[in-house]
Structure 1
Amino acid sequence: MSKPTHYSKRIFHIFLLTVFSIMAIIYILPLVITFTNSLMSMNEVSSHYNTFGDIFHPEGKFVSMAIIPERITLSQYVHILAESPVYLNMFWNSVKIAVPVVAGQLFVSSMAAYAFTILQFKGKELLFFIYIIVMLLPLQVTLMPNYIVFDWLNMTDSYLAIILPGIFNPSGVFLLRQFMKMIPSAYIESAQMDGAGHIRIFFNIVLPMIKSGLASVAMLTFVDYWNVVDQAAIFIQDTYAKPMSLFLARVNQGQIGVSFASSCFYIFPVLIILFYGQEYLKEGINLSGLKG
Protein backbone atom coordinates (compact mmCIF):
# COMPACT_ATOMS: atom_id res chain seq x y z
CA MET A 1 0.00 0.00 0.00
CA SER A 2 2.97 2.31 0.54
CA LYS A 3 4.20 2.13 -3.05
CA PRO A 4 1.06 3.56 -4.67
CA THR A 5 1.05 6.34 -2.09
CA HIS A 6 4.70 7.09 -2.77
CA TYR A 7 4.19 7.08 -6.54
CA SER A 8 1.05 9.22 -6.32
CA LYS A 9 2.90 11.85 -4.26
CA ARG A 10 5.76 11.82 -6.75
CA ILE A 11 3.37 12.22 -9.68
CA PHE A 12 1.61 15.05 -7.86
CA HIS A 13 4.92 16.82 -7.21
CA ILE A 14 5.92 16.43 -10.87
CA PHE A 15 2.54 17.82 -11.90
CA LEU A 16 2.94 20.86 -9.62
CA LEU A 17 6.49 21.43 -10.85
CA THR A 18 5.28 21.33 -14.46
CA VAL A 19 2.41 23.74 -13.81
CA PHE A 20 4.59 26.22 -11.92
CA SER A 21 7.31 25.98 -14.58
CA ILE A 22 4.80 26.81 -17.30
CA MET A 23 3.47 29.73 -15.25
CA ALA A 24 7.02 31.00 -14.66
CA ILE A 25 7.76 30.84 -18.38
CA ILE A 26 4.56 32.74 -19.18
CA TYR A 27 5.47 35.49 -16.70
CA ILE A 28 9.13 35.71 -17.76
CA LEU A 29 8.56 35.50 -21.53
CA PRO A 30 7.50 39.17 -21.98
CA LEU A 31 10.65 40.32 -20.16
CA VAL A 32 12.81 38.04 -22.30
CA ILE A 33 11.18 39.30 -25.50
CA THR A 34 11.59 42.91 -24.38
CA PHE A 35 15.30 42.42 -23.68
CA THR A 36 16.12 40.44 -26.83
CA ASN A 37 14.16 42.84 -29.03
CA SER A 38 16.06 45.75 -27.51
CA LEU A 39 19.15 44.26 -29.18
CA MET A 40 17.56 44.57 -32.63
CA SER A 41 18.17 47.47 -34.97
CA MET A 42 15.48 50.13 -35.14
CA ASN A 43 14.64 49.16 -38.72
CA GLU A 44 14.20 45.52 -37.73
CA VAL A 45 11.87 46.44 -34.88
CA SER A 46 9.82 48.64 -37.19
CA SER A 47 9.56 45.88 -39.78
CA HIS A 48 8.24 43.43 -37.21
CA TYR A 49 5.90 45.60 -35.16
CA ASN A 50 4.93 48.65 -37.19
CA THR A 51 2.16 46.99 -39.24
CA PHE A 52 -1.12 46.15 -37.57
CA GLY A 53 -4.27 44.52 -38.88
CA ASP A 54 -7.09 42.19 -37.98
CA ILE A 55 -9.77 40.03 -39.56
CA PHE A 56 -11.91 43.13 -40.20
CA HIS A 57 -9.12 44.78 -42.19
CA PRO A 58 -7.68 42.07 -44.45
CA GLU A 59 -5.45 44.57 -46.25
CA GLY A 60 -3.49 45.02 -43.05
CA LYS A 61 -0.70 42.83 -41.73
CA PHE A 62 -0.36 41.07 -38.42
CA VAL A 63 2.58 41.76 -36.13
CA SER A 64 5.33 39.23 -36.72
CA MET A 65 6.79 38.84 -33.24
CA ALA A 66 10.46 37.85 -33.10
CA ILE A 67 12.47 36.66 -30.12
CA ILE A 68 15.99 36.33 -31.52
CA PRO A 69 17.35 39.36 -33.41
CA GLU A 70 18.75 38.87 -36.89
CA ARG A 71 21.77 40.95 -35.93
CA ILE A 72 22.66 42.00 -32.38
CA THR A 73 23.21 45.72 -32.08
CA LEU A 74 23.03 48.42 -29.41
CA SER A 75 21.69 51.07 -31.77
CA GLN A 76 18.46 51.44 -29.78
CA TYR A 77 20.39 52.18 -26.58
CA VAL A 78 22.73 54.56 -28.42
CA HIS A 79 19.70 56.46 -29.70
CA ILE A 80 17.96 56.90 -26.34
CA LEU A 81 21.16 57.61 -24.38
CA ALA A 82 23.12 59.76 -26.82
CA GLU A 83 21.06 60.89 -29.79
CA SER A 84 17.72 61.78 -28.18
CA PRO A 85 17.97 63.66 -24.86
CA VAL A 86 14.23 63.39 -24.21
CA TYR A 87 14.63 59.90 -22.74
CA LEU A 88 17.20 60.97 -20.16
CA ASN A 89 15.07 64.01 -19.37
CA MET A 90 12.01 61.86 -18.68
CA PHE A 91 14.18 59.44 -16.70
CA TRP A 92 15.37 62.23 -14.39
CA ASN A 93 11.79 63.47 -14.06
CA SER A 94 10.92 60.07 -12.60
CA VAL A 95 13.93 60.32 -10.27
CA LYS A 96 12.80 63.77 -9.10
CA ILE A 97 9.48 62.25 -8.05
CA ALA A 98 10.49 58.86 -6.62
CA VAL A 99 13.58 59.78 -4.59
CA PRO A 100 12.02 62.64 -2.52
CA VAL A 101 8.96 60.49 -1.84
CA VAL A 102 11.14 57.63 -0.56
CA ALA A 103 13.26 59.92 1.64
CA GLY A 104 10.23 61.73 3.05
CA GLN A 105 8.26 58.53 3.53
CA LEU A 106 11.06 56.95 5.58
CA PHE A 107 11.41 60.04 7.77
CA VAL A 108 7.71 60.64 8.40
CA SER A 109 6.64 56.99 8.64
CA SER A 110 9.39 55.99 11.06
CA MET A 111 8.61 58.87 13.43
CA ALA A 112 4.84 58.34 13.21
CA ALA A 113 5.25 54.61 13.80
CA TYR A 114 7.41 55.34 16.84
CA ALA A 115 4.69 57.62 18.22
CA PHE A 116 1.97 55.01 17.64
CA THR A 117 4.08 52.23 19.20
CA ILE A 118 6.07 53.76 22.07
CA LEU A 119 4.31 56.93 23.12
CA GLN A 120 1.15 56.94 25.18
CA PHE A 121 -1.44 59.60 24.42
CA LYS A 122 -5.20 59.87 24.39
CA GLY A 123 -6.95 58.76 21.21
CA LYS A 124 -3.92 56.89 19.86
CA GLU A 125 -5.83 53.78 18.80
CA LEU A 126 -8.62 55.83 17.19
CA LEU A 127 -6.10 57.87 15.24
CA PHE A 128 -4.32 54.74 14.06
CA PHE A 129 -7.68 53.26 13.03
CA ILE A 130 -8.24 56.34 10.87
CA TYR A 131 -4.80 55.73 9.36
CA ILE A 132 -5.87 52.20 8.41
CA ILE A 133 -9.11 53.47 6.84
CA VAL A 134 -7.18 56.00 4.73
CA MET A 135 -4.69 53.30 3.72
CA LEU A 136 -7.51 51.07 2.47
CA LEU A 137 -9.07 53.78 0.33
CA PRO A 138 -8.39 53.35 -3.40
CA LEU A 139 -6.25 55.96 -5.11
CA GLN A 140 -9.14 57.21 -7.24
CA VAL A 141 -11.06 58.23 -4.10
CA THR A 142 -8.26 60.44 -2.77
CA LEU A 143 -7.27 62.02 -6.09
CA MET A 144 -10.17 64.47 -6.17
CA PRO A 145 -9.62 65.86 -2.61
CA ASN A 146 -5.91 66.12 -3.35
CA TYR A 147 -6.59 68.02 -6.56
CA ILE A 148 -8.94 70.44 -4.80
CA VAL A 149 -6.37 71.14 -2.07
CA PHE A 150 -3.43 71.64 -4.45
CA ASP A 151 -5.55 73.74 -6.78
CA TRP A 152 -6.37 75.97 -3.81
CA LEU A 153 -2.63 76.17 -3.07
CA ASN A 154 -1.90 76.88 -6.76
CA MET A 155 0.38 73.82 -6.93
CA THR A 156 -1.46 71.60 -9.41
CA ASP A 157 1.24 71.75 -12.10
CA SER A 158 4.04 70.79 -9.71
CA TYR A 159 5.86 67.68 -8.52
CA LEU A 160 4.86 68.63 -4.97
CA ALA A 161 1.29 67.63 -5.78
CA ILE A 162 2.59 64.06 -6.17
CA ILE A 163 5.44 64.11 -3.64
CA LEU A 164 3.58 65.45 -0.58
CA PRO A 165 0.73 62.88 -0.60
CA GLY A 166 3.34 60.19 -1.20
CA ILE A 167 5.40 61.27 1.81
CA PHE A 168 2.38 61.09 4.10
CA ASN A 169 1.07 57.78 2.74
CA PRO A 170 -0.07 55.76 5.81
CA SER A 171 1.04 52.37 4.47
CA GLY A 172 4.63 52.99 5.59
CA VAL A 173 3.44 53.85 9.10
CA PHE A 174 1.47 50.61 9.31
CA LEU A 175 4.40 48.48 8.12
CA LEU A 176 7.00 50.07 10.42
CA ARG A 177 4.64 49.92 13.40
CA GLN A 178 4.48 46.16 12.93
CA PHE A 179 8.27 46.03 13.22
CA MET A 180 8.45 48.27 16.25
CA LYS A 181 5.85 46.21 18.09
CA MET A 182 8.30 43.27 17.97
CA ILE A 183 11.03 45.23 19.80
CA PRO A 184 11.13 44.00 23.42
CA SER A 185 9.78 46.65 25.76
CA ALA A 186 12.67 45.92 28.13
CA TYR A 187 15.05 47.68 25.72
CA ILE A 188 12.99 50.87 25.79
CA GLU A 189 12.47 50.75 29.56
CA SER A 190 16.18 50.19 30.22
CA ALA A 191 17.09 53.15 28.04
CA GLN A 192 14.56 55.35 29.80
CA MET A 193 15.92 54.30 33.19
CA ASP A 194 19.39 55.34 32.04
CA GLY A 195 18.05 58.77 31.23
CA ALA A 196 17.73 58.45 27.45
CA GLY A 197 15.10 60.64 25.82
CA HIS A 198 12.82 59.70 22.97
CA ILE A 199 15.14 61.17 20.33
CA ARG A 200 18.08 59.09 21.52
CA ILE A 201 15.93 55.96 21.87
CA PHE A 202 14.54 56.50 18.38
CA PHE A 203 17.89 56.93 16.63
CA ASN A 204 20.14 54.65 18.73
CA ILE A 205 17.82 51.76 19.59
CA VAL A 206 14.71 51.63 17.42
CA LEU A 207 16.04 52.50 13.95
CA PRO A 208 18.97 50.01 14.02
CA MET A 209 16.53 47.24 14.96
CA ILE A 210 14.11 47.87 12.07
CA LYS A 211 16.59 48.11 9.18
CA SER A 212 14.79 45.43 7.17
CA GLY A 213 11.50 47.25 7.67
CA LEU A 214 12.99 50.54 6.48
CA ALA A 215 14.47 48.79 3.44
CA SER A 216 11.10 47.19 2.66
CA VAL A 217 9.27 50.51 2.89
CA ALA A 218 11.92 52.20 0.73
CA MET A 219 11.72 49.56 -2.01
CA LEU A 220 7.94 49.34 -2.08
CA THR A 221 7.60 53.12 -2.11
CA PHE A 222 10.20 53.53 -4.86
CA VAL A 223 8.52 50.96 -7.11
CA ASP A 224 5.11 52.53 -6.49
CA TYR A 225 6.18 56.07 -7.37
CA TRP A 226 8.58 55.06 -10.12
CA ASN A 227 5.53 53.63 -11.88
CA VAL A 228 3.28 56.60 -11.07
CA VAL A 229 0.67 57.19 -13.77
CA ASP A 230 -2.65 58.56 -12.51
CA GLN A 231 -1.24 61.33 -10.32
CA ALA A 232 1.25 62.44 -12.99
CA ALA A 233 -1.41 62.44 -15.71
CA ILE A 234 -3.66 64.69 -13.61
CA PHE A 235 -1.20 67.07 -11.95
CA ILE A 236 1.66 67.44 -14.45
CA GLN A 237 0.55 69.42 -17.51
CA ASP A 238 3.95 70.27 -18.99
CA THR A 239 4.88 67.55 -21.47
CA TYR A 240 8.61 67.84 -20.78
CA ALA A 241 8.03 67.57 -17.01
CA LYS A 242 6.13 64.26 -17.20
CA PRO A 243 7.83 61.13 -15.79
CA MET A 244 9.00 58.31 -18.01
CA SER A 245 6.12 56.09 -16.88
CA LEU A 246 3.80 58.33 -18.92
CA PHE A 247 6.24 58.91 -21.76
CA LEU A 248 6.56 55.18 -22.51
CA ALA A 249 2.93 55.06 -23.64
CA ARG A 250 3.79 57.51 -26.43
CA VAL A 251 6.90 55.71 -27.65
CA ASN A 252 4.95 53.12 -29.64
CA GLN A 253 3.09 55.90 -31.41
CA GLY A 254 6.09 57.91 -32.52
CA GLN A 255 9.33 55.90 -32.26
CA ILE A 256 8.48 52.23 -32.14
CA GLY A 257 12.02 51.37 -33.21
CA VAL A 258 13.35 52.18 -29.73
CA SER A 259 10.35 51.05 -27.69
CA PHE A 260 12.07 47.92 -26.34
CA ALA A 261 15.29 49.66 -25.35
CA SER A 262 13.34 52.45 -23.65
CA SER A 263 11.35 49.84 -21.71
CA CYS A 264 14.55 48.10 -20.55
CA PHE A 265 16.06 51.47 -19.69
CA TYR A 266 12.96 52.27 -17.63
CA ILE A 267 12.77 49.01 -15.62
CA PHE A 268 16.53 48.71 -15.03
CA PRO A 269 16.61 50.75 -11.75
CA VAL A 270 13.68 48.77 -10.33
CA LEU A 271 15.30 45.43 -11.18
CA ILE A 272 18.60 46.50 -9.62
CA ILE A 273 16.93 47.64 -6.39
CA LEU A 274 14.78 44.52 -6.07
CA PHE A 275 17.71 42.23 -6.94
CA TYR A 276 20.01 43.62 -4.25
CA GLY A 277 17.24 44.19 -1.71
CA GLN A 278 15.17 41.05 -2.15
CA GLU A 279 16.37 39.54 1.13
CA TYR A 280 15.38 42.68 3.04
CA LEU A 281 12.02 42.68 1.27
CA LYS A 282 11.29 39.04 2.07
CA GLU A 283 12.37 39.50 5.68
CA GLY A 284 10.30 42.65 5.94
CA ILE A 285 7.14 41.01 4.64
CA ASN A 286 7.62 37.94 6.85
CA LEU A 287 8.31 39.89 10.04
CA SER A 288 5.62 42.48 9.46
CA GLY A 289 2.85 39.92 9.76
CA LEU A 290 1.61 40.61 6.22
CA LYS A 291 2.41 37.12 5.02
CA GLY A 292 -0.64 34.88 5.10
Structure 2
Amino acid sequence: MRYIRIIVLGLLCIIVLFPIIFTITNSFSDHTSILDMYGAVLMSGGEEAIAKYGEFVSLNMFPGESSLEQFKTVLWYRTDAIYAFWNSVRYTVVIVFFQVIVSAMAAYAYAKLNFRFKNILYFISIVIMVMPQQVTLVPNFYVLNKLGWLDSALAVTVPAIFSTFGVFLLTQFMKDIPASISEAARIDGAGEWKIFLKIILPPAKGAVSALVLLSFVENWNMVEAPLVFLKNKGLFPLSIILNSSSLTSLGTAFAIGTVFMLFPLILFLLFEEDLVESIGFTNLTM
Protein backbone atom coordinates (compact mmCIF):
# COMPACT_ATOMS: atom_id res chain seq x y z
CA MET A 1 0.00 0.00 0.00
CA ARG A 2 2.86 2.36 0.80
CA TYR A 3 4.45 1.94 -2.63
CA ILE A 4 1.11 2.44 -4.36
CA ARG A 5 0.67 5.68 -2.43
CA ILE A 6 4.15 6.86 -3.43
CA ILE A 7 3.50 6.04 -7.08
CA VAL A 8 0.15 7.84 -7.08
CA LEU A 9 1.64 10.91 -5.38
CA GLY A 10 4.56 10.87 -7.80
CA LEU A 11 2.22 10.80 -10.79
CA LEU A 12 0.18 13.65 -9.33
CA CYS A 13 3.36 15.70 -8.80
CA ILE A 14 4.39 15.11 -12.42
CA ILE A 15 0.95 16.22 -13.64
CA VAL A 16 1.03 19.36 -11.48
CA LEU A 17 4.63 20.29 -12.36
CA PHE A 18 4.35 19.49 -16.07
CA PRO A 19 2.98 22.94 -17.15
CA ILE A 20 5.75 24.70 -15.22
CA ILE A 21 8.54 22.54 -16.65
CA PHE A 22 6.96 22.73 -20.11
CA THR A 23 6.89 26.53 -20.01
CA ILE A 24 10.44 26.94 -18.69
CA THR A 25 12.07 24.52 -21.13
CA ASN A 26 10.27 25.94 -24.16
CA SER A 27 11.20 29.48 -23.17
CA PHE A 28 14.72 28.67 -24.38
CA SER A 29 13.44 27.66 -27.85
CA ASP A 30 12.78 29.97 -30.75
CA HIS A 31 9.57 30.22 -32.75
CA THR A 32 10.70 27.80 -35.49
CA SER A 33 11.76 25.07 -33.05
CA ILE A 34 8.47 25.26 -31.20
CA LEU A 35 6.51 24.96 -34.44
CA ASP A 36 8.62 21.94 -35.43
CA MET A 37 7.66 20.23 -32.18
CA TYR A 38 4.03 21.33 -31.74
CA GLY A 39 3.02 22.57 -35.18
CA ALA A 40 0.56 19.68 -35.56
CA VAL A 41 -1.52 21.22 -32.78
CA LEU A 42 -0.79 24.93 -33.16
CA MET A 43 -1.29 25.01 -36.93
CA SER A 44 -3.90 22.29 -37.27
CA GLY A 45 -6.75 22.44 -39.71
CA GLY A 46 -5.03 22.54 -43.10
CA GLU A 47 -3.47 19.95 -45.38
CA GLU A 48 -0.42 22.17 -45.82
CA ALA A 49 0.18 22.27 -42.06
CA ILE A 50 -0.25 18.50 -41.79
CA ALA A 51 2.19 17.92 -44.63
CA LYS A 52 4.76 20.24 -43.06
CA TYR A 53 4.47 19.35 -39.38
CA GLY A 54 2.79 15.93 -39.48
CA GLU A 55 -0.33 14.77 -37.68
CA PHE A 56 1.22 14.34 -34.22
CA VAL A 57 3.30 16.51 -31.92
CA SER A 58 6.92 15.77 -31.10
CA LEU A 59 7.04 16.29 -27.34
CA ASN A 60 10.56 17.34 -26.42
CA MET A 61 10.91 18.74 -22.92
CA PHE A 62 14.58 19.60 -23.47
CA PRO A 63 15.11 21.38 -26.80
CA GLY A 64 18.33 20.56 -28.63
CA GLU A 65 19.19 24.16 -29.49
CA SER A 66 18.76 26.49 -26.53
CA SER A 67 19.01 30.26 -26.59
CA LEU A 68 18.52 33.23 -24.27
CA GLU A 69 17.43 35.42 -27.17
CA GLN A 70 13.78 35.16 -26.13
CA PHE A 71 14.52 36.53 -22.66
CA LYS A 72 16.62 39.30 -24.19
CA THR A 73 13.66 40.23 -26.36
CA VAL A 74 11.26 40.23 -23.41
CA LEU A 75 13.50 42.13 -20.98
CA TRP A 76 14.92 44.62 -23.48
CA TYR A 77 12.94 45.01 -26.69
CA ARG A 78 9.36 44.20 -25.69
CA THR A 79 8.53 47.54 -24.05
CA ASP A 80 4.88 46.54 -23.65
CA ALA A 81 5.91 43.52 -21.57
CA ILE A 82 8.34 45.61 -19.51
CA TYR A 83 5.71 48.25 -18.69
CA ALA A 84 3.14 45.53 -17.97
CA PHE A 85 5.58 43.78 -15.63
CA TRP A 86 6.15 46.91 -13.57
CA ASN A 87 2.40 47.58 -13.57
CA SER A 88 1.88 44.13 -12.07
CA VAL A 89 4.55 44.80 -9.46
CA ARG A 90 3.05 48.18 -8.58
CA TYR A 91 -0.53 46.95 -8.34
CA THR A 92 0.31 43.81 -6.40
CA VAL A 93 2.63 45.44 -3.85
CA VAL A 94 0.15 48.25 -3.10
CA ILE A 95 -2.78 45.85 -2.80
CA VAL A 96 -0.96 43.36 -0.58
CA PHE A 97 0.44 46.08 1.72
CA PHE A 98 -2.87 47.81 2.40
CA GLN A 99 -4.88 44.59 2.32
CA VAL A 100 -2.84 43.16 5.19
CA ILE A 101 -3.31 46.35 7.23
CA VAL A 102 -7.07 46.55 6.65
CA SER A 103 -7.61 42.80 7.16
CA ALA A 104 -5.59 42.73 10.39
CA MET A 105 -7.48 45.67 11.93
CA ALA A 106 -10.87 44.27 10.91
CA ALA A 107 -9.94 40.81 12.19
CA TYR A 108 -8.93 42.27 15.55
CA ALA A 109 -12.29 44.01 15.82
CA TYR A 110 -14.20 40.82 15.02
CA ALA A 111 -12.08 38.59 17.26
CA LYS A 112 -11.47 40.75 20.35
CA LEU A 113 -13.94 43.65 20.44
CA ASN A 114 -17.65 43.74 21.22
CA PHE A 115 -19.93 46.04 19.23
CA ARG A 116 -23.44 46.02 17.83
CA PHE A 117 -24.20 43.83 14.82
CA LYS A 118 -20.75 42.22 14.99
CA ASN A 119 -22.03 38.73 14.22
CA ILE A 120 -24.26 39.97 11.40
CA LEU A 121 -21.43 41.93 9.79
CA TYR A 122 -19.09 38.96 10.10
CA PHE A 123 -21.68 36.69 8.51
CA ILE A 124 -22.08 39.15 5.63
CA SER A 125 -18.29 39.16 5.18
CA ILE A 126 -18.27 35.38 4.87
CA VAL A 127 -21.13 35.47 2.35
CA ILE A 128 -19.22 38.00 0.25
CA MET A 129 -16.09 35.84 0.51
CA VAL A 130 -17.78 32.78 -1.02
CA MET A 131 -19.35 34.79 -3.85
CA PRO A 132 -17.52 34.83 -7.22
CA GLN A 133 -15.53 37.97 -7.95
CA GLN A 134 -17.54 38.55 -11.12
CA VAL A 135 -20.61 39.34 -8.99
CA THR A 136 -18.99 42.46 -7.56
CA LEU A 137 -17.59 43.77 -10.86
CA VAL A 138 -20.77 45.60 -11.88
CA PRO A 139 -21.35 47.50 -8.59
CA ASN A 140 -17.65 48.29 -8.39
CA PHE A 141 -17.78 49.64 -11.93
CA TYR A 142 -20.61 52.04 -11.09
CA VAL A 143 -18.93 53.23 -7.88
CA LEU A 144 -15.59 53.76 -9.60
CA ASN A 145 -17.34 55.58 -12.44
CA LYS A 146 -19.02 57.97 -9.99
CA LEU A 147 -15.68 58.62 -8.28
CA GLY A 148 -13.97 59.23 -11.61
CA TRP A 149 -11.42 56.49 -10.99
CA LEU A 150 -12.06 54.36 -14.08
CA ASP A 151 -9.07 53.82 -16.36
CA SER A 152 -6.61 54.53 -13.55
CA ALA A 153 -4.50 52.52 -11.14
CA LEU A 154 -6.99 53.28 -8.35
CA ALA A 155 -9.69 51.33 -10.20
CA VAL A 156 -7.60 48.17 -9.92
CA THR A 157 -6.04 48.61 -6.48
CA VAL A 158 -8.71 50.14 -4.22
CA PRO A 159 -11.46 47.47 -4.59
CA ALA A 160 -8.90 44.69 -4.12
CA ILE A 161 -7.60 46.14 -0.85
CA PHE A 162 -10.79 45.23 1.02
CA SER A 163 -10.51 41.43 1.05
CA THR A 164 -13.06 39.48 3.09
CA PHE A 165 -10.90 36.37 2.82
CA GLY A 166 -8.02 38.13 4.58
CA VAL A 167 -10.38 39.21 7.36
CA PHE A 168 -11.68 35.66 7.76
CA LEU A 169 -8.21 34.09 7.81
CA LEU A 170 -6.77 36.45 10.43
CA THR A 171 -9.94 36.36 12.55
CA GLN A 172 -9.61 32.59 12.99
CA PHE A 173 -6.08 33.05 14.32
CA MET A 174 -6.87 35.94 16.62
CA LYS A 175 -9.88 34.19 18.14
CA ASP A 176 -7.59 31.49 19.51
CA ILE A 177 -5.44 33.98 21.43
CA PRO A 178 -6.67 33.91 25.05
CA ALA A 179 -8.80 36.91 25.98
CA SER A 180 -7.19 37.00 29.42
CA ILE A 181 -3.97 38.32 27.87
CA SER A 182 -5.60 41.37 26.35
CA GLU A 183 -7.71 41.92 29.48
CA ALA A 184 -4.57 41.93 31.63
CA ALA A 185 -3.02 44.47 29.28
CA ARG A 186 -6.10 46.73 29.59
CA ILE A 187 -5.87 46.54 33.38
CA ASP A 188 -2.24 47.66 33.12
CA GLY A 189 -3.40 50.68 31.12
CA ALA A 190 -2.62 49.57 27.58
CA GLY A 191 -4.80 51.03 24.84
CA GLU A 192 -6.41 49.13 21.99
CA TRP A 193 -3.68 50.09 19.52
CA LYS A 194 -0.93 48.85 21.84
CA ILE A 195 -2.80 45.61 22.51
CA PHE A 196 -3.32 45.08 18.79
CA LEU A 197 0.29 45.80 17.79
CA LYS A 198 2.19 44.33 20.75
CA ILE A 199 0.03 41.43 21.95
CA ILE A 200 -2.37 40.20 19.27
CA LEU A 201 -0.45 40.76 16.04
CA PRO A 202 2.90 39.04 16.86
CA PRO A 203 1.37 35.56 17.45
CA ALA A 204 -0.51 35.92 14.15
CA LYS A 205 2.71 36.39 12.18
CA GLY A 206 2.27 33.04 10.42
CA ALA A 207 -1.25 33.93 9.31
CA VAL A 208 -0.10 37.33 8.07
CA SER A 209 2.69 35.68 6.04
CA ALA A 210 0.18 33.26 4.54
CA LEU A 211 -2.12 36.14 3.67
CA VAL A 212 0.77 37.96 1.96
CA LEU A 213 1.46 34.91 -0.20
CA LEU A 214 -2.16 34.16 -1.10
CA SER A 215 -2.98 37.80 -1.77
CA PHE A 216 0.12 38.23 -3.92
CA VAL A 217 -0.72 35.21 -6.09
CA GLU A 218 -4.36 36.23 -6.46
CA ASN A 219 -3.62 39.82 -7.48
CA TRP A 220 -0.57 38.94 -9.56
CA ASN A 221 -2.91 36.84 -11.71
CA MET A 222 -5.68 39.45 -11.95
CA VAL A 223 -7.55 39.44 -15.26
CA GLU A 224 -11.19 40.47 -14.88
CA ALA A 225 -10.68 43.77 -13.05
CA PRO A 226 -8.12 45.26 -15.50
CA LEU A 227 -10.20 44.22 -18.50
CA VAL A 228 -13.35 45.82 -17.07
CA PHE A 229 -11.92 48.92 -15.38
CA LEU A 230 -9.04 49.84 -17.71
CA LYS A 231 -9.04 51.00 -21.33
CA ASN A 232 -5.50 52.36 -21.56
CA LYS A 233 -3.28 49.43 -22.58
CA GLY A 234 -0.34 51.18 -20.98
CA LEU A 235 -1.92 50.40 -17.59
CA PHE A 236 -2.45 46.68 -18.26
CA PRO A 237 -0.65 44.21 -15.97
CA LEU A 238 1.49 41.39 -17.32
CA SER A 239 -1.35 38.89 -16.89
CA ILE A 240 -3.23 40.68 -19.68
CA ILE A 241 -0.18 40.99 -21.95
CA LEU A 242 0.29 37.21 -21.75
CA ASN A 243 -3.00 36.70 -23.57
CA SER A 244 -1.97 39.06 -26.39
CA SER A 245 1.07 37.03 -27.46
CA SER A 246 0.35 35.50 -30.86
CA LEU A 247 1.71 32.63 -32.94
CA THR A 248 4.28 34.98 -34.47
CA SER A 249 6.35 34.96 -31.26
CA LEU A 250 5.87 31.62 -29.52
CA GLY A 251 9.34 31.62 -27.97
CA THR A 252 8.76 35.09 -26.58
CA ALA A 253 5.37 34.02 -25.25
CA PHE A 254 6.94 31.15 -23.30
CA ALA A 255 9.65 33.53 -22.00
CA ILE A 256 7.02 36.00 -20.79
CA GLY A 257 5.21 33.14 -19.06
CA THR A 258 8.42 32.10 -17.32
CA VAL A 259 9.09 35.63 -16.08
CA PHE A 260 5.46 35.93 -15.01
CA MET A 261 5.51 32.85 -12.78
CA LEU A 262 8.97 33.52 -11.31
CA PHE A 263 7.84 35.92 -8.57
CA PRO A 264 5.01 33.73 -7.18
CA LEU A 265 7.34 30.71 -7.10
CA ILE A 266 9.99 32.60 -5.14
CA LEU A 267 7.39 33.94 -2.72
CA PHE A 268 5.91 30.46 -2.25
CA LEU A 269 9.31 29.03 -1.37
CA LEU A 270 9.80 31.80 1.21
CA PHE A 271 6.38 31.42 2.90
CA GLU A 272 5.60 27.74 2.29
CA GLU A 273 5.76 26.73 5.96
CA ASP A 274 3.57 29.64 7.06
CA LEU A 275 0.98 28.79 4.41
CA VAL A 276 0.74 25.12 5.42
CA GLU A 277 0.63 26.02 9.11
CA SER A 278 -2.12 28.62 8.61
CA ILE A 279 -4.32 26.29 6.56
CA GLY A 280 -4.09 23.53 9.13
CA PHE A 281 -4.62 25.91 12.04
CA THR A 282 -7.62 27.56 10.40
CA ASN A 283 -9.27 24.17 9.83
CA LEU A 284 -8.84 23.33 13.51
CA THR A 285 -10.34 26.59 14.78
CA MET A 286 -13.35 26.82 12.46
Whether the TM-score (by the shorter chain) exceeds 0.5 is yes
What does residue range 59-208 of structure 1 map to in structure 2 within 5 Å? 59-61=48-50, 63-208=57-202
Greater Cα offset, 22-31 or 212-221: 22-31
Per-residue CA deviations over 1:58-85 (Å, capped at 9, x if unaligned) read 3323554431111222111111112322
Identity across the alignment (%): 35
Structure 1 counterpart of 2:11: 22
Report the Cα offset of residue 25 of structure 1: 1.1
Q: In structure 2, the residue corresponding to 1:122 is in which secondary structure?
A: coil
Question: 1: CA distance between counterparts of 2:211 and 2:164?
Answer: 11
Q: 1:255 to 1:153 in 2, by over 3 A?
A: same
Question: 2: CA distance between counterparts of 1:102 and 1:17?
Answer: 37
Give the alignment partner of residue 265 of structure 1, picking from 259, 263, 268.
Answer: 259
Count residues in correspondence: 280
The answer to whether the 8 Å contact 1:42/1:76 transfers is no
Looking at secondary structure, tell me which structure has more helix per residue.
2
Runs of 4+ in 1 over 4 A off after TM superposition: none
Structure 2 counterpart of 1:4: none
Residue 281 of structure 1 aligns with an amino acid whose one-letter code is L
Q: 1:82 to 1:290 in 2, by over 3 A?
A: farther
Report the Cα offset of residue 229 of structure 1: 0.5
Greater Cα offset, 16-25 or 202-211: 16-25
CA-atom RMSD in angstroms: 1.9
Question: 2: CA distance between counterparts of 1:64 and 1:101?
Answer: 42
Report the Cα offset of residue 149 of structure 1: 1.0
Question: 2: CA distance between counterparts of 1:150 and 1:290?
Answer: 39
Question: 1: CA distance between counterparts of 2:60 and 2:284?
Answer: 40
Per-residue CA deviations over 1:177-207 (Å, capped at 9, x if unaligned) read 0010111112101111110000111111111
Report the Cα offset of residue 264 of structure 1: 0.6
Q: 1:236 to 1:44 in 2, by over 3 A?
A: same
The answer to whether the 8 Å contact 1:80/1:262 transfers is yes
Which structure 1 segments of 5+ residues have no match? 1-11
Which structure 2 segments of 5+ residues have no match? none
Greater Cα offset, 248-257 or 217-226: 248-257
Structure 2 counterpart of 1:282: 276
Per-residue CA deviations over 1:232-267 (Å, capped at 9, x if unaligned) read 111111112101001001113442221111111000
What does residue range 204-215 of structure 1 map to in structure 2 within 5 Å? 204-215=198-209
